[in-house]
Amino acid sequence: MDFSSYECIEFQREGRILTIALNRPAQRNAVNARLHHELSRVFTDAQRDPDSDIVVLTGNGSAFCAGGDIDWMQLSVDEPSEFERTAREAKDIVYTQLDLEKPLICKLNGHATGLGASLALLSDIVVMAAEARIGDPHVSVGLVAGDGGALIWPQLVGYAKARKYLLTGELMTAAEAERIGLVTDVVPRAELDAHVAALAQRLAAGATKAIRWSKVTTNLPLRQLFHSYFDAGVAYECLSNGTADHAEAVRAFRERRPPVFTGR
């Protein structure tokens, strides 16, 4: 498979293991328009790649993914039609990630927030660095967690825990994420690469068809859930993109001050 058209995602191979790395390290892998577009097709390309059986998803640099890029958020505030394209791509990202038949291991090397958290949690196995934090702070910037968080968090940790973190936007430690069952394993950052490599190699050496089809079967209810309700989450996020509170949050971020929300 030729991945040369990608600008914001880097690819590496080791045997039958394909590593997909978000590659905007200076921006903490925050998602801009280009990266968002590439994410909307990368899992399809990974599925079609004939030279891999296992996929690892990670981020280059100190962070996994810091959510949405603030300049891109400003563009969507100024030009709401930009968010319509984003909404279509958001569905492509989630549906193709869930449709990927190859086992997907998230090597959560650093902080994961917003869309970054959704990308991690929609993976099959999440191995998190002990020093990292994770959360979905959409509400902190006046947005609905419509790009996956509102659906996947309750499936992993139950509604009581999910609502607390989704409605406050609070980030949690790796230890807490493991304790409540949000992620699979937590290891020290210095051991993360070796731990994930050993796990990926174990899967690659296994009965790959049986492993793949077990994953597909396990994901059937999750795929049904997202196909039933994800459009509503995206629609509510589109609505929230046009609110005064979201515009204020983006402005406050640029001005390095706390936002003053008015409920409008």
Q: What is the pLDDT of residues 125-182, one digit of tens each?
A: 999 999 999 999 999 999 999 999 999 999 999 999 999 999 999 999 999 999 999 9
Residue 7 confidence (pLDDT):
98
- Percent of the chain clearing pLDDT 70 (strictly above): 100
- For 75-140, the DSSP string reads HHHH-THHHHHHHHHHHHHHHHHHH--S-EEEEE-S-EETHHHHHHHTSSEEEEETT-EEE--GGG
Quick one: DSSP state of residue 190?
H
The 10 Å CB-count burial string (b at 16+, else e) for 16-26 is bbbbbbbbbee
Residues 102/121, Cβ–Cβ less than 8 Å: no
Quick one: DSSP state of residue 7?
S
Residue 187 confidence (pLDDT):
98
Residue 149 confidence (pLDDT):
97
Residue 53 confidence (pLDDT):
98
- For 193-252, the DSSP string reads HHHHHHHHHHHHTS-HHHHHHHHHHHHHHHHHHHHHHHHHHHHHHHHHHTSHHHHHHHHH
Taking 90 as the threshold, does the pLDDT of residue 82 lie above it?
Answer: no
Residue 1 confidence (pLDDT):
86
Residues 127/105, Cβ–Cβ less than 8 Å: yes
Please give the Cα distance from 84 to 86 (Å, whole number): 5
Average pLDDT over residues 2-9: 96
- Mean pLDDT for the chain overall: 97
Residue 251 confidence (pLDDT):
95
Residues 36/89, Cβ–Cβ less than 8 Å: yes
User: What is the spatial order of strands in the sheet that 133-135 belongs to?
Assistant: 112-113, 133-135, 172-173
Angle between helix 244-254 and 208-241 (nearest 10): 100
